[in-house]
Amino acid sequence: MGCSSEGFAAALRAAAEVVAEHRTELIELDRAIGDGDHGENLSRGFTAIVSALETEVPATPGAVAKLAATTLISKVGGAAGPLYGTAFLRASAKLGDAAEIDVPLLLEALRAALEGVQARGKAVGGDATMVDALIPAVSAAEGAAAADASVAEVLAAAADAADRGAESTVDLVPRKGRASYLGERAVGHLDPGARSTALLLRAFAEAAR
């Protein structure tokens, strides 16, 4: 069974709750190796998405993704706003005007989101950014889909892999974004953007169940 625009809107509301619950954690992660605004930035962005959805839920999942993208780009400062905004915008372009997100479309949207983040931020795997959560998430999603998983199962596989990918940033020397200014001193710290990516994917997976 696929995910309708209402389903996707519900997933974004769930994501907003998770971001609010983890706001302090994300602030603390970013305070250790950045400027401490990541939790605030993201919670402001997702709160704005929820209010935009209260006015109207767009008719297709692609239009919902586009609303999320434009809201994140306009409301969230820092590096993460434009990066997450680009991710949702590229996903929205892939979703087009389909009425539902099925597994093949989900895979295309996830891959497009990853490619958008990489096109925008120029980070590769191992740079200790959100890309380290997204790359394994997309591969795991593709693997799960090849084994006939449902939308919810594909997202759960992506979230599990994103958790492990985010954990892997602890041992890495950051090469992009603010944390890269610290170099070796940032080793031992979890990247806040990788953590938030894993949290968002988990929220989507739980919502899809």
CA separation for the pair 26, 20 (Å, rounded): 10
Is 35 among the residues that bind ligand ADP (CB under 6 A)?
Answer: yes
Instruction: Write the CA distances from 7 to 10, 17, 151, 160, 204, integer angstroms.
Output: 5, 15, 12, 21, 10
In whole angstroms, how close is the CB of 1 to ligand ADP at the nearest point? 32
> Counting contacts by CB under 6 A, is residue 205 touching ligand ADP?
no
Scanning 12-20, 48-56, 86-94, 176-184 for contacts with ligand ADP by CB under 6 A, the matching segment is: 176-184
Q: Which of 79, 141, 158, 190 binds ligand ADP (CB under 6 A)?
A: 79
CB 186 within 8 A of CB 128: yes
The nearest distance, CB 189 to Mg ion, in angstroms, is: 13
Q: Does 201 bind ligand ADP (CB under 6 A)?
A: no
Q: Name which of 92 and 169 has its Cβ closer to ligand ADP.
A: 169
* Binding status of residue 37 toward ligand ADP by CB under 6 A: yes
Is residue 37 close enough to count as binding Mg ion by CB under 5 A? Answer: yes
CB 162 within 8 A of CB 201: yes
Which residues are CB-neighbours of 119 under 8 A, at least 6 positions away?
Answer: 86
Q: Is 113 among the residues that bind ligand ADP (CB under 6 A)?
A: no
Residue of closest CB approach to ligand ADP: 193
Question: Token digits for 52?
Answer: 């935009």
At closest approach, how far in Å is the CB of 114 from Mg ion?
21
Which residues lie closer than 8 Å to 9 by C-beta, 6 or more apart?
A: 53, 57, 64
* Exposure string for 99-123, b = 16+ CB within 10 A, e = fewer: ebbebebbbbbbbbbbbbbbebbeb
User: Where do contacts with ligand ADP occur on this chain (CB under 6 A)?
Assistant: 30, 34-35, 37-38, 41, 78-80, 83, 117, 121-123, 129-131, 176-178, 191-194
